[in-house]
Structure 1
Amino acid sequence: MLYWAAVIFIIAICIAVFGFVGIAAGAASIAKILVILFVILFVLSLIVSGIRRRPRS
């Protein structure tokens, strides 16, 4: 899951670069959505990995 979060983050950065320099005006809004999606996936992956690594007594 962390792999896919990283892939989405890289895609969002690429789209943001094109959107913020004026190459594609609509890409900036797509980049914002992808960055939010990346943050959500990142937090979920941290929670899931924390639950899996918790030592059981």
Structure 2
Amino acid sequence: LFDDDQEQRTSPQQRTILLNERQRELSNERQRKLSNERQWELSNTTTTLEQISDD
């Protein structure tokens, strides 16, 4: 009920802004995940290379 009430009070413009912010948060989150995975891959690769050169 409360949520519906707020929806009514929120103008279409505000709703769009809210949606955009949500989208930006989501894409930021995705970017962070991706870069974390990338870092992890890079560090794994580096480790492997070091092991090879040690031999």
Higher RCO by CA contacts (8 Å cutoff, separation 6 or greater): 1
Task: Note the aligned Cα RMSD (angstroms).
Answer: 1.6
Query: Is 1:52 matched up with 2:39?
Result: yes
**What displacement does 1:37 show?**
0.7
> Greater helix percent: which structure?
2
**TM-score, length basis structure 1:** 0.55
Unaligned runs of 5+ in 1: 1-18
**What displacement does 1:47 show?**
0.4
Q: How many residues align?
A: 38
Unaligned runs of 5+ in 2: 1-5, 49-55
**What displacement does 1:38 show?**
1.0
**TM-score, length basis structure 2:** 0.56
**Structure of higher CA gyration radius:** 2
Q: Percent identity among equivalent residues? A: 3
| Residue of structure 2 aligned with 1:36, choices 23, 39, 47 | 23
